[in-house]
């Protein structure tokens, strides 16, 4: 297990896979957000990760992992509107702080960096599981990753399970009544709709699983 690690090339592949998925699903994410939010989540996320591609994802860049991840966070803070910019920006900045100036992250350290990102989202959004937010996808996904790695699973299959758990958590937001964000203003009317932030967060972990597995 300790020999399994991700490097900058893997992280860039992750971000590229995610950016492509956001571009493909921008209209769907916006439709989800139109039902319970401002109707701009897909547009904002697509714009932010297009900027990440343009400014950060240079294949020749040899910056350490914290530099890459910090750059992503700063771009998102400056380009993604609404609540998503601060939340996703914080996620990557906290990942950067945990990763440090290393060239490679062993699997347990990758999980720790992702967990630090999730804790940043929890603190920044003042959210808890069940509030119908992106945390409802991120938290079960990363907790599953930590558990499966501790059980001795390889990184690729552990990430596959993590992505599946995040997707399940995303679907579980449908019957929830929102307690945070714009959707909370709707009260009971927010039930019956899948949370857009949880959806884009599930895409994030699925993209990482794809990037690591090479599929």
pLDDT tens digits for range 128-186: 998 899 999 999 999 999 999 999 999 999 999 999 999 999 999 999 888 777 676 56
* C-alpha dihedral, 66 to 68 to 70 to 71, nearest 10°: 160
Buried b (16+ CB within 10 A) or exposed e, 123-153: ebbebeeebbbbbbbbbbbbbbbbebbeeeb
Q: What is the 3-state secondary structure (H, E, C) of 5-49?
A: EEEHHHHHHHHHHHHHHHHHHHHHHHHHHHHHCCCCHHHHHHHHH
pLDDT digits (tens, 9 = 90+) for 21-61: 999 999 999 999 888 788 899 999 999 999 999 988 776 66
pTM for the full predicted model: 0.93
CATH number of the domain bearing residue 172: 1.25.40.340
Q: Which domain holds residue 26?
A: 5-213
Confidence at residue 1, expressed as pLDDT on a 0 to 100 scale: 37
Domain total for the chain?
A: 1
Structure tokens at 98: 């945990």
């Amino acid at each position: 297990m300790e020999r399994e690690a991700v490097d900058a090339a893997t992280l860039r592949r992750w971000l590229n896979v995610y950016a492509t998925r956001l571009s493909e699903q921008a209209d769907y994410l916006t439709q989800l957000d139109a039902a319970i939010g401002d109707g701009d989540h897909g547009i904002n996320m697509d714009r932010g990760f297009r900027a990440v591609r343009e400014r950060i994802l240079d294949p020749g860049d040899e910056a350490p992992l914290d530099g890459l991840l910090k750059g992503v966070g700063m771009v998102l803070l400056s380009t993604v509107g609404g609540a998503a910019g601060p939340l996703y920006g914080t996620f990557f900045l906290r990942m950067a702080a945990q990763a440090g100036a290393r060239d490679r992250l062993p699997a347990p350290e990758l999980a720790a960096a992702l967990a630090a990102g999730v804790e940043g989202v929890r603190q920044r959004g003042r959210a808890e599981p069940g509030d119908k937010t992106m945390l409802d996808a991120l938290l079960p996904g990363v907790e599953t990753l930590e558990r499966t790695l501790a059980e001795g699973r390889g990184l690729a299959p552990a990430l596959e399970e993590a992505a599946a758990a995040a997707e399940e958590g995303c679907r579980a937001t449908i019957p929830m009544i929102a307690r945070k964000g714009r959707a909370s203003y709707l009260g009971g009317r927010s039930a019956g709709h899948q949370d857009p932030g949880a959806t884009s967060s599930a895409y994030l972990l699925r993209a990482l699983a794809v990037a690591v597995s090479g599929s």
